[in-house]
A and B are shown apart, each in its own frame.
Chain A
Amino acid sequence: MRVDYVTGNTAIALGSIAAGLRFYAGYPITPTSDIFEFLARELPKRGGYVVQFEDEIASINAAIGASWACAKSMTATSGPGFSLMVEALSLAVITETPVVVVYVMRTGPSTGVPTRSGQYDVLQATYGFHGGLVVPVLAPATPQEAFDLTVRAFNVSEKLRTPVVLLSDATIAHTYGRVVVREPGEVEVVERAKPSVPPEKYRPYDPGEGLVPPMACFGEGYNVLVESLTHDERGYYAPRSDVQRRLMWRLYRKIVESAPELFDYGAAYLDGCDVALVSYGSTSLSTLVAAKILRSEGYRACSIRLRTLFPVYEEGIRRLLNGVGKVFVVENNVGLYYRELRGVLRGSEVVSVPIIDLDLPQPREVVEVVKQWL
């Protein structure tokens, strides 16, 4: 363990090493390339592989392949690259492949302002792929959180056999901060469950008593089947409603029922809070200051930053905001995550505070907008 002063991107790279990353597949894109470059230098020293592929499609598919060869795998990208990756994310969902996708958001749509920030892709991160299921999305706001949540992203992906999106943005990517860096062996690391039956009895999609099947890898003699088609517990294509129902509900439940365990947030000034400023990612740095200003002006304001965006833990969020008079959802987009919270907090007054800024919404501007509603 040591204390370092690094950017959010470097913190992600360090976190992935601590979590046991063995294979990084990447394609250059602003503002993520320094994650790639850092790992290209450091990971081979620890016996891992870093390979640049021909595009983001190849990168995510290679990461999925490497995961089926038992290597913890990761790729990192931004909006245009993530848009290319979503078909393979769907593959990772149905084949239950642990893989971590770092999504460093930048200004969009399309090429937008590649070097600047925004939170336009918060819904795409979980809803972007076809099939209508949920991918866990973790959102750091500081370099320290970037490190910690990267480790967590790997652990969640291994435990639930799912892709996990670590959602950062260009501001966090390039902001330096103090980070307690832990080495492999100094953090809690979760490994995927391995089959306890001999190969001839192994069924790759049989969850047994739980919801997550043990996972054998290529080259272990288990005659593994990776199947993108709707499949039964053996991995055999089964175009039948009963099989589709069983598969869909299990894939849905294993994520959604983990919501309480995955729920994570940071809060300030929570005591007696009547005006809650809810945000995530880099914007929560602005809302923290905004809440402080509002407090100094006599409002009972608090700031809450969500570190787990999906699955949405509805009960947890309701409990957290119980008794708060007004909830303001502050984000650097047209008001996207607000839609999620509005549904969860039916009956409460929920106000969207969408402030589009190429960097951070300024705390003053947040305060001005919020005060119009008070």
Chain B
Amino acid sequence: MAVAHPLDRYLRTDRLPTMWCPGCGLGILLGCILRALDRRIREGSLRRENVGFAGGIGCSARMTLYPYFDSAHVIHGRAIPFALGVKIVKPEMKMIVVGGDGDIAAIGGNHILHAIRRNADLVVIMANNMIYGMTGGQQAPTTPRGLYTTTTPYGNPEREINIVKLAAALGANYVARGSVTHTPLLEQMIYKALGKRGLAFVEVLSTCPELFGRHIGFRSPVDLYSELRKRVVVKTRPSVEESDYSWERGFVIGEFVDRDEPGFIEVLQEYTSRARGGAG
């Protein structure tokens, strides 16, 4: 079969084009995820039939509609427990949870917290566009303080949540922040996350030109993309303390945590084998 693009074999091409607005950062992220998967599958460190996606609700979670793998588009905030259910009974699966900042940091906040605490063997990719895009530009827990959203018309009075810090504090094996403005680095982070045991969390700064950029004065997708690129600071092994962000101070990206503690699944299996009178 002739392919128009080398990544087509990983896509449900009959569902293209995607539902994302022109200029949305999520297509860039999807490209990075698929290239990272392609590398893993080609080198033999992942089997294609053992890759599964799960997403909740939102533009980012809709990413699960397009990859040609086992995929679940479930309910708002609950992709993590769904994915963990799959992983517990089929440990050979590599479950990738994709969601937006609202899906994962707001309504799904309790689940990301406890998935990290467990060091659950999942790859969690949180696209952070700092806004509720699908519902029309409302405030998110990630919205930088002071910015306009449709539900904070006089400016967002709240502080931004920093899941990088949470993930580091509660013991995730891998914590990184990338940006759709720096794709080779982002692809490398996702590639690395796919090879980790335990919980691998990658926050991805992304652009919503329609409902974030336009509302704060950037008239075109390129303007917002360029502005974000300007405010991103790439660091090699930044400290967790440097992960706090604001619109004025900007955004540090890089690998904040990289360790190799046993993941939840192998500990659970070890304890379960005790019940069966096995070793461990």
Contacts and interface: CB of A to CB of B under 8 A. Distances in A.
B83 interface: yes
Contacts of A217: 90
B239 interface: no
B72 A223 contact: no
Contacts of B57: 228
Interface centre among B69, B82, B89 (most CB of A within 10 A): B89
Given A57-B78, A68-B72, A218-B70, A62 B52 contact: no
A87 B75 CA distance: 8
Nearest to B93: A219
A69 B15 contact: no
Interface string A42-68: 001101010101110111011111111
B268 A51 contact: yes
B260 interface: no
Given A218-B70, A228-B75, A45 B275 contact: yes
B184 interface: no
A44 B272 contact: yes
Contacts of B276: 44-45, 47
Nearest to B54: A65
A223 B92 contact: no
A229 interface: yes
B111 interface: yes
- Contact-residue bracket for chain B: 35 or more
- Contact-residue bracket for chain A: 35 or more
Nearest to B272: A44
A71 interface: yes
B110 interface: yes
Nearest to B71: A225
A55 B71 contact: no
Contact of A65 (B49, B83, B110, B114): B83
B155 to A, nearest CB: 32
B86 A218 contact: yes
Nearest to A46: B276
B272 A62 contact: no
Contacts of A55: 110
B156 to A, nearest CB: 27
B52 A219 contact: yes
B211 interface: no
Contacts of B85: 23, 25, 61-69, 73
A68 to B, nearest CB: 6
Contact of B86 (A65, A220, A229): A65
A49 B88 contact: yes
Nearest to A44: B275
Interface string A214-228: 000111111111111
Given A87-B75, A219-B50, A219-B70, A64 B82 contact: yes
Contacts of A226: 71-74, 82
Contacts of B81: 25, 53, 57-59, 61-62, 65
A219 B90 contact: yes
A95 B64 CA distance: 15
A113 to B, nearest CB: 27
B74 A228 contact: yes
B71 A223 contact: yes
A62 B84 contact: yes
B65 interface: yes
Interface string B25-46: 0000000000000000000000
A88 B111 CA distance: 15
Interface in A331-347: none
B102 to A, nearest CB: 16
A303 B140 CA distance: 57
Nearest to A231: B73
B218 interface: no
Contacts of B274: 44
Given A65-B54, A69-B85, A218 B90 contact: yes
A44 B83 CA distance: 21
Interface in B252-280: 268, 271-272, 274-276
Contact of B70 (A63, A224, A229): A224
Interface in A95-123: 95
Contacts of A71: 89-90
Contact of A237 (B65, B82, B113, B114): B65
Nearest to A236: B15
A218 B81 CA distance: 15
B86 A61 contact: no
A247 interface: no
Contacts of A326: none
A69 B52 CA distance: 10
B74 A62 contact: no
* For the complex of A and B, 3 pairs with smallest distance between CB atoms: A65-B85, A44-B275, A62-B85
22 contacts: A25-B81, A44-B271, A49-B268, A51-B268, A54-B111, A54-B114, A55-B110, A58-B110, A61-B75, A62-B88, A65-B83, A65-B84, A67-B85, A69-B93, A88-B78, A218-B86, A219-B93, A223-B71, A225-B72, A225-B73, A226-B72, A236-B65
Given A44-B272, A219-B49, A228-B57, 14 more contacts: A44-B274, A47-B272, A47-B276, A54-B113, A58-B80, A58-B111, A61-B78, A61-B82, A64-B82, A67-B85, A69-B85, A91-B75, A218-B70, A226-B71
